[in-house]
Chains A and B, each alone.
Chain A
């Protein structure tokens, strides 16, 4: 069955960096676009970024553009998010997700908490 297992996250000071990982299994990872979505405490879901199946295309929400970088390694069935220049408002649970391009998200990772605080 499809599984998305996340790792990384934790407590980081403002201005710091963090790398999130998401390892996929149960499907042909290289066939699918992938996405990161976040959820601030007590808030709704916010799309952060997506990457195409071959890494040719990426896009970011304005709130993270220039600070976050999405990448993937299809040989390792893994998705990544490098987060730099972190701010307090980046505090959230981050979810990786499989995205059927132009349609919908159909699988979610378990989420990982990122806390940005001094």
Chain B
């Protein structure tokens, strides 16, 4: 079954860019994932679906500052022109026929 590995924390300055990583476990490098944002005290929000090819489809209303890319087993979420409202936990998610919905441990992003 797939395991999604994320760094526990990341930080970047206001107005800069940050690239968050979600790594799929061995044998699952082709899997589609989703990125979700969870601001403090709120429900998660779907950001995008990201394929192994690097193609991505964003959810409704997701700003252009958010983009996705892929390299092998790594799935990336890049946030450009960081804003204070981007300070949140970011989770990746995938699916497997044996384990069903699987989440990464989440990355806590701090905007300095």
Contact = CB atoms under 8 A, between A and B. Distances in A.
Interface of A: 1-2, 35, 37, 44-47, 50, 59, 95, 99, 102-111
B45 interface: yes
Contacts of A107: 46
Tell me the interface secondary structure of chain A in the complex: strand
Contact of B95 (A1, A37, A45, A104): A104
* Shortest beta-carbon contacts, A-B, top 9: A104-B34, A47-B101, A45-B103, A108-B43, A44-B106, A111-B43, A106-B46, A108-B44, A110-B43
A95 B105 CA distance: 17
Given A108-B43, A111-B43, A45 B34 contact: no
A25 B32 CA distance: 27
Contacts of B104: 44
A1 B46 CA distance: 14
A27 to B, nearest CB: 12
A104 B103 CA distance: 11
A103 B49 CA distance: 8
25 contacts: A2-B60, A37-B101, A45-B36, A45-B44, A45-B91, A45-B106, A47-B102, A59-B100, A95-B44, A99-B101, A103-B49, A103-B95, A104-B32, A104-B46, A104-B94, A104-B95, A105-B34, A105-B36, A105-B46, A105-B93, A107-B46, A108-B44, A108-B45, A108-B46, A110-B43
Contacts of B44: 45, 95, 108
Given A46-B103, A103-B34, 19 more contacts: A37-B103, A44-B106, A45-B93, A45-B103, A47-B100, A102-B95, A103-B32, A103-B95, A104-B49, A104-B94, A105-B34, A105-B101, A106-B49, A106-B59, A108-B36, A108-B43, A108-B45, A109-B43, A110-B43
B8 to A, nearest CB: 10
Contacts of B105: 44
B79 interface: no
A50 B100 contact: yes
Contacts of B59: 106
Contacts of B106: 44-45
